[in-house]
Amino acid sequence: MTIISDAESRPQIIQWLIDTRPLWPVPKKEKTKDEVQELKTVASRALALLTPAEQESVLKFYHVRDAKMKLASYLLKHLIITKYCNVSWSESTISLGTNGKPCFIPPSNSQSHVNIDFNASHQAGIVSLIAAVGFKGHVDVGTDVVCADERLSKDYENIEKDGFFEWVDMHADVFAESECSFMKLGSLSEKEVGLEEAQISGFGRDALSRCQRRNTKVHVKVTKKDGMEERVEIDSNVVIDAKLRRFYAMWCLRETYVKMTGEALLASWLKELEILDVQTPAAQELIQDPNSLEEGGTAQNFRIVFKNRPVTDVTMVLSALGPTYMVGGAVRASNAVERPQTSMGKWQNLNLERDILAFAESKV
């Protein structure tokens, strides 16, 4: 079933994903740069849809996995412009706004201009794109993708050397102090640490909060459903994994917000932004395929504070994908009347052949 429907005139938020991991397989080469050049053959149809400059930027990567994500990112940007801005694929020029954020500037002779803002992200083979289409007022959007276990061995190495708190402090320059404190000491739910049939009681939550080492046990008091209390052992590896997933959830939210503004994680105001009351979305249970992107839980209703003042015009949603991925979306609408129309839904996983290549080749 084709996912992309015909463009509608109503204002809407579009959320697309594409998984590049199985796409454009290339033969193993002695030099990774040579693998990238193989894309000229195996991805020839997709590359032909890009401008010469875009093709060059794809083929300059050192690793083929990065080149494939860049290629897919370009395809999604051209697709959103062609699909919703009443232009042909060849006219879907990707420009840069004054803040460096990719945008579409319609031709001067355009008779049916459609307001659009879009943003793309990629990580560990997954590319996301979010767009606001057809709104009368200005709408900013942002997205980010994280993979909680992409750097797991390196994360474990640093945590085992210095402890989880020191590991969080390694990244403190891009988080507010309140966020760093929450990532270190914030409470974990029973479900996050594998306690389905009991409730943590006493000082058990404090013990979990203070845990920062792997390969040990955390002793906590719990109350079972029958009201009886007992002490149980929790594997500290489970606790650290839950804290790592929360860290990457908060990283994803922060990147999503910053990309919405068109800035980068080096923005001068970064530490004045606080995203609070964060709950980590859980992966769908019983996923058998490690490469699955099945959507799990979602988290929203975050408390956003900027320069000690609440932010009320931004909506953010964080969704779990498969066992280890999370994707964030952020929308900021300048027109308060249109904000109810900016709600986000599920992310749509596009099919390269059906949803992108066939459509693009019919619109060139």
> What is the 3-class SS of 134-165, one letter each residue?
CCCCCEEEEEEEEECCCCHHHHHHHHHHHCHH
Phi, psi (deg, nearest 5) at residue 109 = -95, 15
What is the spatial distance between Cα 106 and Cα 85, in angstroms, rounded to a whole number?
8
Tokens of 304: 């956003």
Going from the C-alpha of 247 to that of each of 147, 292, 329, the distances in angstroms are 11, 22, 17
- Determine the Cα–Cα distance for residues 67 and 303; give it in Å rounded to an integer: 36
- Is the per-residue pLDDT at 2 higher than 60? no
Residue type, 174: V
Q: Between 226 and 311, where is the model more confident?
A: 311
- In the chain, how long is the greatest CA-to-CA distance? 75
Q: What is the mean pLDDT of residues 278-306?
A: 94
Higher-confidence residue: 1 or 109? 109
As a dihedral over the C-alpha atoms of residue 320, residue 253, residue 276, residue 216, rounded to 10 degrees, the angle is: 60
Amino acid at 357: L
Mean pLDDT of 158-170: 96
Averaged pLDDT for residues 2-10: 50
Token look-up 């930027």 returns: 57
Whole-angstrom Cα distance, residue 119 to residue 140?
9
Query: Over 50: is that where the pLDDT of 258 sits?
Result: yes
Whether residue 23 is predicted with pLDDT greater than 90 in this model: the reply is: yes
pLDDT (average), residues 318-332: 97
Q: How many CA atoms lie within 13 A of 67 on its CB side?
A: 26
Per-residue model confidence as pLDDT tens digits over 196-242 = 888 998 888 999 999 999 999 999 999 988 888 889 999 999 999 99
pTM above 0.85, yes or no: yes
Q: Residues with Cβ < 8 Å from 317, sequence gap 6 or more?
A: 298, 299, 300, 328, 329, 344
Segment 338-355 mean pLDDT = 95
Tokens linked to 285? 């249970």
Please report how many Cα atoms fall inside a 13 Å half-sphere around the Cα of residue 285, on the Cβ side: 4
Confidence at residue 280, expressed as pLDDT on a 0 to 100 scale: 96
DSSP assignments along 342-353, one per residue:
G---PPEE--II
pLDDT class for 4, splitting at 50, 70, 90?
A: very low
Please give the mean pLDDT across all residues of the chain: 92
